[in-house]
Amino acid sequence: MSEDFKNNKEIHAQSSETISGGTGGSAPDLDYVRPAEVSDQDLYHGHSFITKWVFCQDAKIIGIQYFCLATFTGIIGLILSWLMRLQLGFPEAAGFMTAEHYYQFVTMHGMIMVVYFLTALFLGGFGNYLIPLMVGARDMVFPYLNMVSFWSFFVAVLVLLASFFVPGGPTGSGWTLYPPQAILEGTPGSGMGIILMCVSLILFVAGFTMGGLNYLITVLQARTRGMTLMRMPLTVWGIFTATVLAMLAFPALLVGSLMMMLDKLLGTSFFMPTILKAGEVLEYGGGSPILFQHLFWFFGHPEVYIVALPAFGIISDLISVHSRKNIFGYRMMVWAIVGIGALSFFVWAHHMYVSGMNPWFGFFFATTTLIIAVPTAMKVYNWILTLWRGNIRMNTVMLWCLGFIVTFVNGGITGIFLGNVSVDVPLSDTYFVIAHFHMVMGIAPLMVIMGAVYHWFPLVTGKFLSEKLGKWHFWTTFLGAYSIYFPMHYLGFIGVPRRYFEMYDSPYMTSAVGMNEFISLAAFLVGAAQFILIFNIIKSLKTGKAAGKNPWQANSLEWLTPIVPPEHGNWGDRLPVVHRWAYDYSVPGAKEDFITQTTAPSEVTDTKVEKT
């Protein structure tokens, strides 16, 4: 085994003449950075195919594995949404679909997209790839645990997909899995389906905890010399805070799933009151269905921010790089991320205004919910103020950013409707809710993911994605998705309830038929447009333009590795030394319009850098 470690060099033992980092002799006091506190990380280098590509301990490969598997489940979720839209828009063409199927598709689509696609992609995918590179670490701090994290996720996905093939099919209880219906006859998949769902969620939480510990400790304890918390790119801040939320929110989901499984398997009555079904009183009694809702939403609301905060962070970096301008109000952005994260633990019951909980809770939760609007609005202002007087490159990445701002502001404002307790009453459980959360945590984060893919593809592969295909991809996705969800709000105003298999016999809903057909057509188009990206990736891998080093002229560390794409260990034989924040773009007096984080102050003495 010893040869697996031979590449490691004991860099920390650098003697005092290189402590200054960067330039050495010319101005040692100006460039002084404290020596390393801990010895260099001791990495396991895989040699065989299995240890290098399958059971790999390199966070970058694990990130790509997470990305691919999450995308795969995401495509399944996409196909399920097509089937749902087929039923809603063209029920006569969906004759093969029963109500059972429809509800199973709704449930699996929701759960896949929220947990197995978005959460896994942002934290597992982008988190693994970017955190070590952006904070200047060689790898995640516990590479073995990180590998186990991915493979737990893999098993969780297998179990989830296995539920499609068990008797009764997957659970059809809605992604919120509310008892009592989740485990009673009359709901599709109330047998094996719900059990496999709970098992899969528990595996996901276990796997995620292993990954999450890695992300947190890497950010807290393994930053490189000179990298203070307030010099980190906002991407890292977003993923870091989201991981903290996940570590504290997933326990509630784990406990809820476990208790529901016991209710199903052992006949306990945690969530089950006395129930009369088909004239017979069941053997349950004394439990509280609302307890599950509290547990679920104590997880569920932070979960929204687990998806949103990494998106906030990534978009801040993309906008800054492509506007050639520092992110406006960096400190405000950091505090807004942290503040939103903290507040998100005190708002969960705004999902339950009409759930039958004590109505007096409504006052408290409406107030906390609307307080969150303030830091969120500040973030939006800072994004558009970053564009102001920038030098905006109108490339595909920037288009995704602008698309994000439009959809996020739209979805954020409809969130104020739903968070404000009495406004929520007529709108809750209608299509307004569907439109709101798809806009704000479906389409907006998707825009960020796409922007991030176009931005970091050159880093991961060394090739650019095709701009032309990218623009087609963007415009069909953005315009299509907007025309799905913007009109959908108005279905909610009419009062069309969500989770209706069909409903056009109601007198005031006949007018909605045409709109549903339109929405379905747009949904088919948007779904199909995502295959442009897959085609683009394949094509660009083969024939794409070579990117070279730091093609976007960015400042942050991930672009500054000695070899691009970065190899295992990231930094060759010397860890980078950081002298400034990641946003010194267009500094007056500088030759270029960017000053990388590793540039020593003595190299740019004649510039007017305000913050370092």
Q: Report the site for other proteins in 310-329 (rule: CB under 8 A).
A: 323-326, 328-329
State how far Cα 343 lies from the chain centre: 18
State how far Cα 394 lies from the chain centre: 25
Q: How many whole angstroms separate alpha carbon 397 and alpha carbon 374? A: 27
Contact between 257 and other proteins by CB under 8 A: the answer reads: no
**Is the Cβ of residue 74 or residue 302 nearer to other proteins in the bound state?**
302
For other proteins, which stretch binds (CB under 8 A), given 60-68, 154-162, 487-495, 524-532? 487-495
Q: How many whole angstroms separate alpha carbon 577 and alpha carbon 526? A: 44
Among 141, 160, 440, 449, binds other proteins (CB under 8 A): 141
Closest approach of other proteins to the CB of residue 539, in Å = 23
> Can you say whether the dihedral through the CA atoms of 596, 602, 603, 605 is positive or negative?
positive
Among 311, 512, 522, 532, binds other proteins (CB under 8 A): 512
Cα 326–Cα 385–Cα 443 angle in degrees, nearest 5: 100
Beta-bridged to residue 546, according to DSSP, are: 463
Q: How many whole angstroms separate alpha carbon 111 and alpha carbon 431? A: 18
Contact between 170 and other proteins by CB under 8 A: the answer reads: no
Nearest to 326 by CA among 580, 600, 582: 582
User: Residue 203 in contact with residue 156, Cβ under 8 Å?
Assistant: yes
**Is the Cβ of residue 23 or residue 288 nearer to other proteins in the bound state?**
288
Per-residue contact flags (x/-) with other proteins for residues 276 to 305, judged by CB under 8 A: xx-x-x-x-xxxxxxx---x--x-------
For other proteins, which stretch binds (CB under 8 A), given 268-276, 446-454, 457-465, 521-529? 268-276
Contact between 227 and other proteins by CB under 8 A: the answer reads: yes
Judged by DSSP in three states, 276 sits in: strand
Among 64, 201, 421, 453, binds other proteins (CB under 8 A): 421
For other proteins, which stretch binds (CB under 8 A), given 66-74, 221-229, 460-468, 562-570? 221-229
User: Residue 373 in contact with residue 419, Cβ under 8 Å?
Assistant: yes
User: Residue 155 in contact with residue 69, Cβ under 8 Å?
Assistant: no
Contact between 342 and other proteins by CB under 8 A: the answer reads: no
Among 429, 467, 517, 567, binds other proteins (CB under 8 A): 429
Nearest to 328 by CA among 611, 24, 1, 113: 611
Among 69, 83, 203, 213, binds other proteins (CB under 8 A): 213
Q: How many whole angstroms separate alpha carbon 251 and alpha carbon 157? A: 19
Contact between 111 and other proteins by CB under 8 A: the answer reads: no
Nearest to 545 by CA among 473, 452, 471, 458: 458
Q: Which of residues 349-378 bind other proteins (CB under 8 A)?
A: 354-356, 359-360, 362-363, 366-367, 370-371, 373-374, 377-378
**Is the Cβ of residue 194 or residue 460 nearer to other proteins in the bound state?**
194
Among 30, 162, 217, 521, binds other proteins (CB under 8 A): 217
Contact between 391 and other proteins by CB under 8 A: the answer reads: yes
Q: Which of residues 439-468 bind other proteins (CB under 8 A)?
A: none
Closest approach of other proteins to the CB of residue 483, in Å = 9
Please provide the distance, in angstroms rounded to a whole number, between the alpha carbons at the two ends of the chain: 43
Contact between 221 and other proteins by CB under 8 A: the answer reads: yes
Closest approach of other proteins to the CB of residue 26, in Å = 20
Q: Distance of CA 201 to CAs 176, 191, 271, 369, 420, Å? A: 12, 16, 18, 27, 31
Nearest to 529 by CA among 483, 487, 490: 483
**Is the Cβ of residue 384 or residue 541 nearer to other proteins in the bound state?**
384
Contact between 224 and other proteins by CB under 8 A: the answer reads: yes
**Is the Cβ of residue 491 or residue 533 nearer to other proteins in the bound state?**
491
For other proteins, which stretch binds (CB under 8 A), given 156-164, 436-444, 500-508, 566-574? 500-508
Contact between 29 and other proteins by CB under 8 A: the answer reads: no
Contact between 251 and other proteins by CB under 8 A: the answer reads: yes
Contact between 330 and other proteins by CB under 8 A: the answer reads: yes
State how far Cα 580 lies from the chain centre: 27
**Is the Cβ of residue 24 or residue 462 nearer to other proteins in the bound state?**
24
Per the structure block, which two tokens stand in for 162? 């296995």
Cα 346–Cα 351–Cα 353 angle in degrees, nearest 5: 100
φ/ψ region of 21 (left if φ > 0, alpha if ψ in -120 to 50, else beta) reads: left
Among 197, 199, 252, 446, binds other proteins (CB under 8 A): 252
Q: What are phi and psi of 501, to 5 degrees?
A: -65, -40
Closest approach of other proteins to the CB of residue 75, in Å = 26
Among 501, 521, 539, 553, binds other proteins (CB under 8 A): 501
Q: How many whole angstroms separate alpha carbon 26 and alpha carbon 404? A: 45
Contact between 507 and other proteins by CB under 8 A: the answer reads: yes
Angle between helix 143-162 and 59-89 (nearest 10): 20
Among 77, 180, 207, 211, binds other proteins (CB under 8 A): 180
**Is the Cβ of residue 71 or residue 369 nearer to other proteins in the bound state?**
369
**Is the Cβ of residue 74 or residue 419 nearer to other proteins in the bound state?**
419
Contact between 226 and other proteins by CB under 8 A: the answer reads: yes
Among 60, 85, 138, 223, binds other proteins (CB under 8 A): 223
State how far Cα 138 lies from the chain centre: 24
Among 36, 97, 155, 166, binds other proteins (CB under 8 A): 36
Per the structure block, which two tokens stand in for 588? 């007056």
Per the structure block, which two tokens stand in for 117? 């696609």
How many residues form the binding site for other proteins (CB under 8 A)?
Answer: 168
Q: Which of residues 517-576 bind other proteins (CB under 8 A)?
A: none
Contact between 1 and other proteins by CB under 8 A: the answer reads: yes
Q: Please count the residues of the chain.
A: 612
Output DSSP code: residue 35. P
Query: Residue 184: CA atoms inside 13 Å, Cβ hemisphere, count?
Result: 19
Nearest to 352 by CA among 414, 287, 428: 428
